[in-house]
Amino acid sequence: MGSLKLLHTLNLSNGLTVSIYDYTKVYFGDYHHVRLRIVCCLDSAVNWKQSCSEEIDFRSINYTRTVDKMGVPSEDLESVIKTLLNDFDNNSLPYISSADFPKKMIKHELSCKLSPVRKYLGVGS
C-alpha cells in the first residue's frame, strides 16, 4: 500500500492554493503505479463572496486532477515524478494561474449546486 506524501504547495497570485500529493504505490514486484493528485483550493484569505450573490461554502470548492503512470520500475520513480510535474507546470499551471480561473471554479460550483437533478426517464416515458 502506498503512502500519502505532500510534495509541495503553491500559492498563486490569483488567490488559489495548489497542493500536490504523491499517492505512488507498489504495483507488482519492483514496478510502481505513480499517481500524483493535484488539488487546487480557493484561498480563505481572499474575499470570494464578492464574486457571487449565492450562499456557498467557498472552502468546499476545489479543482482536483490526477496524473499517473503505471508500471514504473523503482529506478525510474524520481524521473517519472519529475516528468509528470513538468508536464503539469507547462500545460495546466498557466491555465489554473490565470486571473479568470477562480471565477470559473465558482461559476461551475454554483451551476452544479443550483441546477435541478434530472433523472433519465427512458425512451417510453
pLDDT band at 79 (very low <50, low <70, confident <90, very high): very high
Would residue 54 count as lying in a domain? yes
Alpha carbon 93 to chain centroid distance? 11
84 in any annotated domain: yes
Residue 91, in any domain of the structure: yes
Query: Does 55 reside within a domain?
Result: yes
CB burial class (10 A; 0-12, 13-18, 19+) of residue 39? middle
> Residue 117: inside a domain, yes or no?
no
Predicted pLDDT at 4: 80
Q: Do the domain assignments include residue 125? A: no
Which residue did the predictor score with more confidence, 49 or 25? 25
pLDDT tens column, 43-75: 654 555 555 555 556 666 788 899 999 999 999
Give 84-115 pLDDT, tens digit per residue.
999 999 999 999 999 999 888 888 877 776 66
For residue 1, the model assigns a pLDDT of 45
User: 16 and 25 in contact (C-beta within 8 Å)?
Assistant: no
- Residue at 124 is within a domain: no
Task: Provide the domain count of the chain.
Answer: 1
State the pTM of this model: 0.74
CB contact at 8 A, 20 and 85: yes
- Domain with 37, as residue range(s), is 5-107
Does any domain span residue 122?
A: no
At 54 the pLDDT is: 54
- Position 57 scores a pLDDT of 61
